Amino acid sequence: MPATDSRPAHYTGLIDRYRERLPVTDATPVISLNEGDTPLIRLENIPRELGTDVDIFVKYEGLNPTASFKDRGMTMAVSKAAEEGARAIVCASTGNTSASAAAYAARAGMTAFVLIPEGKIPMGKLAQAIAHGAVVLQIKGNFDDGMRLVKEVAGEAPVAIVNSINPFRLQGQKTAAFEIVEALGRAPDYHCIPVGNAGNISGYWIGYSEACGHNTASCTLCHGQCPYLDNPLTDTRPVMVGYQADGAAPFMRDEPVLEPETLATAIRIGNPQSWDLAHAAVNESGGWFDEVSDDELLATQAMLARQEGVFCEPASAVSLCGALRDVRTGRIPAGSLVTCTLTGHGLKDPDIAIRGQRAVQTVNADLQSVKAAILAHI
C-alpha cells in the first residue's frame, strides 16, 4: 500500500503477505479476496477418545473467501493472468475450482468459463459459480474429460487455464505450508491431505521444502532459487501422506481409473494431472498413499462436526479419516505432531451432511411441548 494511502491497514491476502516468496513483481496487479490466514485448530476430543498422545491439528481451509483452499492458488493464477492481459479464464472442475475461478474473475473484471461434470456438482458450489457470473458449461462427461477439453480449447480460444497445471496455482497453494510452520514454530512430523488432481499435495511439498531452505525437484518455478534458502523457518520437512477415496484412487492402482466413483465428488478424479509431482512429494518425504471408503470418510466428517465443532466437506474428511486410521495402527507413531488439511467447508454440500442423520423434530409452539422435547434429551 503506498505511503500516501491513509486508509486503515488490514490483512490483504497472501500475495501481499508472502510477496517476497512468490513470483510477483510491482507490475503484477494483485487480484485478492484476502484469502489465506486460515485457522490451524488442535483437535481435543477425538484424540482423547482415541487414547492417543498424537497431537493432531486441522488446517481449516473452508474458511477461505469461497470456502475452499482453491483461493490460494486462484489469487496467484488470476493475478498473473491479469498481468499478461488475459480477458478470460477457463477451468475444468469438480466444483471448488469453478467457484473460486468465478469469484476471482468477477473481482478482476474477467469472464470465467467453467466446465463441470453433469449432475456431479453439489448445489453450494454450483450456486457460487452462477452467483459470480461464470459461464457454466455442464459437460456430459467427468472431470477428466473436462480437463482434456480445457487443454484442447486453450489452444483454440483466448482463455488462460487456471487449473493446477498452471504453475502459479501451486505457488499460491504452497503458502498454506508457510502458515502451518509459522503457527507451530516448526514443521509437523506428518502432513495428511486428500488427493484428487494432486495439485495441493504438490503445492504443500514445495512450501514445506522452501520453508526449510531445501530445494526440491518438485518446484517448477524456483529452480534452485528457493526464497527461504538463506533464511529458513525450520530445519525439517514433514512426511507427506496422501489419501484418496477408494473408488477414485489412481495412486493406489498405480494407473488412471477410467470411471472414478465416490460420494466425495470433489475428488472424483481418475487421471490426476500432477501425477509426477505428487509421487515426488511422497517419495522425497518418505510418505505414502492410502485409500478410505465412502462410509469411512462420511463417518469422519460427521465425527469431526459433532465432536470438535468443525464442519468440512466429505472430500476434506479423507485426510483426517486416513490419519486416524494410521494413528490407530501405529503407522503414525505415538508422540507425533500431525497436521491434516481440511480442504473445503461442509456448507458446500449440505445434502450429504444431513443424509442419514437424526431427523429434525417438529413440536407444537407451546412451552409444554418444547420443554418435554428438551428434557427427553437430557
Task: Please give the residues from 26 up to 85 whose contact with ligand F0G meets the rule CB under 6 A.
Answer: 68, 70
Regarding 95 and contact with ligand F0G (CB under 6 A), the answer is: yes
Among 38, 66, 79, 94, binds ligand F0G (CB under 6 A): 94
Shortest distance in whole angstroms from residue 135 CB to ligand F0G: 16
Sheet holding 55-60, edge to edge: 40-42, 55-60, 337-342, 190-194, 239-245, 288-292
> What are the Cα distances from residue 52, in Å, to 44, 235, 324?
11, 26, 10
Burial, 141: exposed, middle or buried (Cβ in 10 Å; 0-12, 13-18, 19+)?
A: middle
* CA–centroid distance for 161 within its chain: 18
Phi-psi region of 109 (alpha: psi -120 to 50; beta: other; left: phi over 0): left
Burial, 362: exposed, middle or buried (Cβ in 10 Å; 0-12, 13-18, 19+)?
A: exposed
Among 199, 247, 250, 287, binds ligand F0G (CB under 6 A): 199
Q: What distance in Å separates the CA atoms of residue 357 and residue 302, rounded to the nearest whole number?
A: 9
Interface region with ligand F0G, contact rule CB under 6 A, candidates 33-41, 280-288, 308-316, 358-366: 308-316
Among 32, 79, 200, 339, binds ligand F0G (CB under 6 A): 200
Interface region with ligand F0G, contact rule CB under 6 A, candidates 89-97, 218-226, 327-335, 370-378: 89-97
Shortest distance in whole angstroms from residue 175 CB to ligand F0G: 14
Neighbours of 337 (CB within 10 A): 16
Instruction: Give residue 59's identity as a one-letter amino acid code.
Output: K
Task: Please give the residues from 98 up to 157 whose contact with ligand F0G meets the rule CB under 6 A.
Answer: none
In the complex with ligand F0G, which residue's Cβ is closer, 95 or 322? 95
163 contacts 218 by C-beta, under 8 angstroms:
no
Among 315, 320, 323, 327, binds ligand F0G (CB under 6 A): 315
Binding letters toward ligand F0G, positions 229-268, x by CB under 6 A: -------------------------------------xx-
In the complex with ligand F0G, which residue's Cβ is closer, 96 or 301? 96
In the complex with ligand F0G, which residue's Cβ is closer, 188 or 196? 196
Among 247, 343, 346, 353, binds ligand F0G (CB under 6 A): 343
Q: What distance in Å separates the CA atoms of residue 48 and residue 85, rounded to the nearest whole number?
A: 53
Among 35, 189, 308, 313, binds ligand F0G (CB under 6 A): 313
Burial, 361: exposed, middle or buried (Cβ in 10 Å; 0-12, 13-18, 19+)?
A: exposed
Regarding 197 and contact with ligand F0G (CB under 6 A), the answer is: yes
Shortest distance in whole angstroms from residue 356 CB to ligand F0G: 21
Shortest distance in whole angstroms from residue 280 CB to ligand F0G: 14
Shortest distance in whole angstroms from residue 92 CB to ligand F0G: 7
What is the DSSP code string of 72-86? HHHHHHHHHHHHTT-
Compute how many residues bind ligand F0G; rule: CB under 6 A: 22
Task: Look up residue 168 and give its three cell numbers.
Answer: 502459479
Report the candidate in 44, 285, 276 with the shortest Cα–Cα distance to residue 165: 276
Among 65, 122, 167, 196, binds ligand F0G (CB under 6 A): 196
Shortest distance in whole angstroms from residue 192 CB to ligand F0G: 12
Task: Look up residue 322 and give its three cell numbers.
Answer: 486416513
Shortest distance in whole angstroms from residue 359 CB to ligand F0G: 27
Q: What distance in Å separates the CA atoms of residue 283 and residue 44, rounded to the nearest whole number?
A: 31
* CA–centroid distance for 24 within its chain: 22
In the complex with ligand F0G, which residue's Cβ is closer, 46 or 277? 277
* CA–centroid distance for 336 within its chain: 23
Report the candidate in 265, 281, 360 with the shortest Cα–Cα distance to residue 314: 265
In the complex with ligand F0G, which residue's Cβ is closer, 70 or 279? 70
Residues that bind ligand F0G (CB under 6 A): 68, 70, 93-97, 164, 194-200, 266-267, 313, 315-316, 343-344
